[in-house]
């Protein structure tokens, strides 16, 4: 389809130029707005790409070049004609447990479980392993100290994405529970860069001067500690780091345990939670209480449903008073923000807490 440039002549003699952006979508999805859109010179235009149910965005092409499987794209400072097109593929999501392997024999009270996910819908995906939620970094995950019982154990990893779709991977392992063991613990076990953690080691016997080693995607800096039983480290690069403690027991045998520390980037977490807040704000502006409740932690929904129902007619005004959502901190499974509002000419601030849903691993709103 040909694109065209439109010349405008104003009454005062100014000649402005408009440009066109031609948007198209393949089968099994849509792009909005579709067709040819006219944009003022220097203006901007946002397009939303939406796959049909059961499909995902495979790629988006801008002027023939891929910009990835995005669901939104904005042309800024438009000074030429453009094209944008979207391609869709059937949705798929897989999850795999990398360690331990299916059928493994394990001599331990608990086990570190690691794995990977793939979701071609490119939406937030949460992970639980035997009901324990964890963070996902670069499509990989690790869950510490999954409990085991003597004999056969089933370990099930479950992926749940923001669209409510799930995938599972079960494996079976055989466990022998030892009389002697050591356990390495960390506080926190996850967070954002730069992340500082404190490790401790205990066990069925007194542990002194354990050897601690680490592996990971970046440099691990050991920090000073004024407690000989605590070991402090700092990580500046996102990814999953593994710390292993090793010591000799009173029986002369060597014992060891490994813990994973998941380090996310602040922009990644910030984008996820701000998306949830934007969706909540839109739903409440539209008085769509049912959608708004899905963005809250299950434990918070009953009390907020009562509040939203009582304030239904005022919800658009309340949301309209928001002026800024300011990041404060991320502490393990919680993200803290300050919501600034302008009400009747006065400035107010409220705390907003986002939390990882323990049942799915997805970020949701706990309170505001």
Backbone region of residue 344 per phi and psi (left: phi > 0; alpha: psi in -120 to 50; beta: other values)? left
- pLDDT value at position 16? 67
CA atoms within 13 A on the CB side of 222: 10
Q: Which residues contact 256 (CB under 8 A, 6 or more apart)?
A: 182, 244, 245, 246, 247
pLDDT of residue 312: 87
Under 8 Å between Cβ of 337 and 346: no
Distance CA 218, CA 24 (A): 42
Q: d(Cα 98, Cα 211) in Å, to the nearest integer? A: 26
Residue-range domains of the chain with CATH: 6-90 (no CATH), 92-178 (2.60.40.10), 180-264 (2.60.40.1080), 267-367 (3.10.450.50)
Rounded distance between C-alpha atoms, residue 323 and residue 340, angstroms: 6
**pTM, entire model:** 0.82
How many angstroms separate the CA atoms of 160 and 128, rounded? 8
Q: Are 100 and 169 in contact (CB under 8 A)?
A: no
Residues 6+ apart with CB under 8 A from 211: 245, 246, 247
Q: Buried (b) or exposed (e) across 177-191, using 16+ Cβ within 10 A?
A: eeeebbbbebeebbb
Both tokens of residue 216?
Answer: 């990971």
Cβ atoms of 157 and 115 within 8 Å: the answer is: yes
Output the CA–CA distances (angstroms, integers) from residue 3 to 22, 47, 82, 331, in the order listed.
7, 17, 8, 51
Q: How far apart are CA 242 and CA 232, in angstroms?
A: 14
CB 300 within 8 A of CB 365: yes
Instruction: Return averaged pLDDT per consecutive 10 residues of the chain, 368 residues in all.
Output: 39 64 96 96 93 90 90 92 96 96 97 96 92 95 98 98 92 97 97 97 95 97 95 98 97 96 95 92 91 95 93 91 94 95 92 96 96
Rg over alpha carbons for the chain, rounded to the nearest Å, is: 26
């Amino acid at each position: 389809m040909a694109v065209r440039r439109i010349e405008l002549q104003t009454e005062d003699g100014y000649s402005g130029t408009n440009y066109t952006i031609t948007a198209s979508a393949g089968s099994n999805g849509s792009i909005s707005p579709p067709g040819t859109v006219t944009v003022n010179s220097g203006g901007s235009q946002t397009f939303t790409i939406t796959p049909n149910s059961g499909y995902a965005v495979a790629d988006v092409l801008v002027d023939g070049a891929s910009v990835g499987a995005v669901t939104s794209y904005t042309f800024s400072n438009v000074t030429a004609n453009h094209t944008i097109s979207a391609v869709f593929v059937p949705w798929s999501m897989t999850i795999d447990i990398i360690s331990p392997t299916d059928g493994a024999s394990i001599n331990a009270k608990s086990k570190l479980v690691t794995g990977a996910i793939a979701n071609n819908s490119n939406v937030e995906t949460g992970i639980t392993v035997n009901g324990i939620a964890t963070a996902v970094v670069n499509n990989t995950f690790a869950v510490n100290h999954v409990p085991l019982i003597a004999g056969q154990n089933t370990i099930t990893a479950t992926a749940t994405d923001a669209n409510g779709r799930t995938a599972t991977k079960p494996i079976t392992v055989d466990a022998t529970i030892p009389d002697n063991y050591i356990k390495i613990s960390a506080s926190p076990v996850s967070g954002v860069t730069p992340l500082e953690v404190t490790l401790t080691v205990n066990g069925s016997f007194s542990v002194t001067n354990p050897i601690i080693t680490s592996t990971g995607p970046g440099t691990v800096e050991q920090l000073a500690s004024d407690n000989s039983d605590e070991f402090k480290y700092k990580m500046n690069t996102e990814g999953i780091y593994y710390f292993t403690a090793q010591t000799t027991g009173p029986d002369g045998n060597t014992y060891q345990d490994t813990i994973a520390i998941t380090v996310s980037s602040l922009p990644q977490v910030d984008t996820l939670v701000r998306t949830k807040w934007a969706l909540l704000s839109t739903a409440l502006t539209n008085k769509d209480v049912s959608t708004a409740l899905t963005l809250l932690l299950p434990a918070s929904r009953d009390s907020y449903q009562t509040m939203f129902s009582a304030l239904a007619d005022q919800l658009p005004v309340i949301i309209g008073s928001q002026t800024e959502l300011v990041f404060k901190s991320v502490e393990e499974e919680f993200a803290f923000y300050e919501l600034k509002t302008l009400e009747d000419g006065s400035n107010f601030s409220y705390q907003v807490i986002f939390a990882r849903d323990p049942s799915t691993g997805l970020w949701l709103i706990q309170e505001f």
